[in-house]
Copies of this chain bind each other. A is one copy, B any other.
Amino acid sequence: MARHIMTLTCDDRPGIVATVSAALLAVSANIVENQQYSDEDTDLFFMRTVFDAEPHEVEQVLEAIRQSAAISHHHLAARPEDEHCRTIILVSKFDHCLLDLLYRWKSGDLPIDIVGVVSNHEDCRGLVEYYGLPFTVIPVTRETKADAEAELLRMVETNDVGLVVLARYMQILSDQLCTALEGRAINIHHSFLPGFKGAKPYHQAHDRGVKLIGASAHYVTADLDEGPIIEQDVVRVTHAESPERLVAIGRDVERRVLSRAVRDHAESRIFLSGRRTIVF
């Protein structure tokens, strides 16, 4: 027996849980964890089930669910829990989010396989190579941007990558690339969205005199800073903090929020429902 994670999105109607649990029982699978949610706004049903089963019987489970009259317009997938999400990390010069991801990955805290780290600068090479990972520099200028993105996308596709993490990657992706990576690229924005979009959010926060600063991890979409939010957090600050100090404080929130979002994605806990996320 091996532990599997199954995710299901479909139209919300009676009989779905009965269908899924009967399909699992038919192969004597044991349900370890189960979460579900019916979104009244979108009339969609979401389910995440962790179960122990013989690997060769999983396809039979999926087929039984697919054939059921209770299931329509479904997205259904299952994978062994130990089949980690293949991941590429994009980074520029700031290394705090990168280090946090690398450390957590190394300590077994993040179920991802890091295919490599890609940057438009050389700065993080030492850190990445210390962790024994390939570091690829793809410089980006106005002229080379299209080529650079094509190269990145090739890496994603060649390596069967399920997650691209923008760990303070200071380049705006083209609409085309955003579309190609839809639902599998996570960005960390250094503010509590929807406040302080755009550049220099900590300076905006200082000018406005807010008492909490935050960070937001979201899926990348063509509509900048408007992608579905996955995770957010804040930290209390006072009038005494300069913009520079806010930046330093913000680094802690950013890395914490991004790491949580990456884990949620890698554990198949996130579902899209319109422009909102369901996170089990």
Contacts and interface: CB of A to CB of B under 8 A. Distances in A.
Interface of A: 14-18, 21-22, 24-25, 28-40, 96, 99, 103, 107, 109, 126, 130, 192-196, 207-212, 214, 228-234, 238-240, 242, 248, 251-252, 256, 273, 275-279
A253 to B, nearest CB: 11
8 contacts: A14-B28, A17-B24, A21-B22, A31-B36, A193-B208, A210-B232, A212-B232, A238-B279
B14 A22 contact: no
The main secondary structure of chain A at its interface with chain B is mixed
Contact of A240 (B30, B37, B96): B37
Contact of A248 (B28, B109, B248, B275): B109
Given A18-B21, A99-B99, 7 more contacts: A17-B31, A32-B38, A39-B239, A109-B248, A109-B251, A192-B212, A209-B275
Contact of A229 (B28, B103, B208): B208
